[in-house]
Amino acid sequence: MKQINLLGKSVGIVTTTRVQHATPAASYAHSASRKWYSDADMPDAAKTDGCTDIASQLLKNTDIDVIIGGGRKYMTPKGTKDPEYPRDYSSRGKRKDGRNLIDEWQSMKIGKVAHYVWNKTDFNAVDPETTDYLMALFEPGDLHFETERDPNMDPSIVETTEKAIRILQKNPKGFFLLVEGGRIDQAHHSGRAYMALHETVAFDYAIAKGLELTKEHETLTIVMADHSHSVTFNGYPFRGQSILGKSPLWATDVLPYTTLMYGNGPGHKITNGKRPDIRDVNTKNKDYVQLAAVPMQSATHSGEDVAVLARGPMAHLFQGVQEQNYIAHAMAYAACVGADIRHCQGQTEAHAVHTIFTNDKNGAGAACGLPALLSSLLSALLALVVLM
């Protein structure tokens, strides 16, 4: 992101988690721990050695034009009341250094058209045609799951993606946008397949919106995952049966089981050597936790290859089985970033690289491997880069 920004291109991040979370933070921060969201999360030794928290790096490392997600409490001094949940102590500011990073961000943008918003009404009022910078933090921490989102308070990932693209695409030199559907991963960690699938559908709509707002001949779209999960399909459900339903086949213990289960996680429920009888349980409920083979407080990631989809200029670079670090180099090459840009010399038209990294899709034409279609339903990113 910084390399793209130094070339004069606009950059942005959109996420359904806190903006200081692992995936968005990886695009702008350098940290020994992914959990150093604010200075309150850092050990004293790290501060003494000169390390800084992720939230503060959000302001200083790269001039990010669009920042959308959650994470208000990591930006304000300890005890600062949250504008949406003033009576909730867990939502109050966390910073021990007394800094209000939201105020600092606004001060840094004097002379520019910059907006900070925390609710949908103010978000909708932001005109992308006249806006230079936008910071939108809709929750103290991560955003709500899509099925629990209040549409009157928080916009959808489709709406945030569209707003970000419309702001960034005004730059004639191009832009880079990373969009993450990060709560897909969090739902899987909780063993809640319903939530994971609905988060994935929401992200799929965001991808569609990104494709609608960009042009294929000048935009490279990439969809990929960073890892898979231990969720698995059980056979043999009838054709047309709900993926959240139960298999028509019963196990040898004469009990039904769901089509989707986890290799491990909080859904492990063996009592006196027996599985629970779920004949009268609504497994299609959003709060249902799938059964798991091994007891864990949080379901783990798994090791299948995950897929990469690519469409647009330089899409041919994303084929076959590759190490994951290859993706970044291929993106940089496609975006004419780096030491060797001989392939970009003589280029007369601006090309766009609109990249979607999704931790939950399998590629059609570009792949890191195909076995984990549902197993890789994780955080997802969308990135757009316009090339010169």
Tell whether 23 is in a known binding site: yes
Q: Do the Cβ atoms of 319 and 367 come closer than 8 Å?
A: yes
**120-125, long-range: CB < 8 A, 24+ apart:** 120/151, 120/152, 120/153, 120/154, 120/155, 123/155, 123/159, 123/160, 123/163, 124/155
Residue 104 marked as a ligand binder? no
On whether 343 is known to bind a ligand per the annotation, the reply is: no
Give the C-alpha separation, 17 to 169, whole Å.
24
Q: Are strands 66-70 and 10-18 parallel, antiparallel or unpaired?
A: parallel
Give dist(CA 133, CA 161) in Å, integer: 15
Interacting residues of 316 by C-beta distance below 8 A, sequence separation 6+: none
| Residue 229 annotated as part of some ligand binding site | no
Q: How far apart are CA 313 and CA 316, in angstroms?
A: 8
Q: Is 185 annotated as a binding residue?
A: yes
Phi first, then psi, for residue 4 (nearest 5°) are: -60, -45
Q: Find out whether 226 is annotated in a ligand binding site.
A: yes
The H or E element containing residue 133 is strand 133-137
CB 262, CB 232: distance < 8 Å: yes
Q: Annotated binding residue at 198?
A: no
The reply to whether 304 sits in an annotated binding site is no
C-alpha 243, offset from chain centre: 24
Q: Strands 133-137 and 114-117, how do they pair?
A: parallel
| Cα–Cα distance for residue pair 325/317, rounded to 1 Å | 13
Closest CA to 367 of 312, 306, 311: 306
Task: Please give the annotated binding residues for Mg(2+), written as ranges.
Answer: 21, 23, 180
Task: Please give the annotated binding residues, written as ranges.
Answer: 21, 23, 180, 185, 189, 226-227, 301
Task: Please give the annotated binding residues for Zn(2+), written as ranges.
Answer: 185, 189, 226-227, 301
